[in-house]
Amino acid sequence: MHVIRVQTERKTQLVDVTAEVREAVSGAAGSVVTVFVPHTTAGVVIQATGEGAAKVAADLESAFERIVDEGWDWQHTSEGDRNPWSHVRAALTASSVTIPLVHGGLGLSDLQTVFLCEFDGPRWREIHVVAH
């Protein structure tokens, strides 16, 4: 297993970690790679980027903030939770994604990117990368 550490800068932020994941699996044996985020207030997604899709991450950040409002009457704040919205936003993503390995590299299209989704930043996050 390879661990990638990422420092996020904002409360809600999508961070492109594709290069780090590619490096972690470069030349790996197996047929798939699992990218796992061991956090309950962060997630991982594969989404578009590049020419014609450069603003997708910013749009997703805005959408998460609009869909899950921090000002709602959150029930588990009575249990001492300071960030209930971040748990809900993370539930809208995934804790892991599986990507095919093709000739020892990620089987993503030219427009696909692996994003760490931060919902309780800024902070340090880990991403676990395992080739199978």
Task: Give residue 8's pLDDT.
Answer: 98
Amino acid at 42: A
Among the listed residues 111, 132, 9, 113, the one whose alpha carbon sits nearest the alpha carbon of residue 52: 111
Domains of the chain: 2-131 (2.60.120.460)
pLDDT of res. 77: 87
Residue 78 tokens read as 């009575």
Which of 110, 120, 128, 56 lies closest to 89, judged by CA? 120
Per-residue pLDDT of the chain in tens (132 residues, 90 and over written 9) = 999 999 999 999 999 999 999 999 998 889 999 999 999 999 999 999 988 899 999 999 999 999 999 999 999 888 888 999 999 999 999 999 999 999 889 999 999 999 999 999 999 999 999 999
Residue 20: per-residue pLDDT: 98
Distance, CA of 47 to CA of 53 (rounded, Å)? 9
Q: Report pLDDT for 46.
A: 98
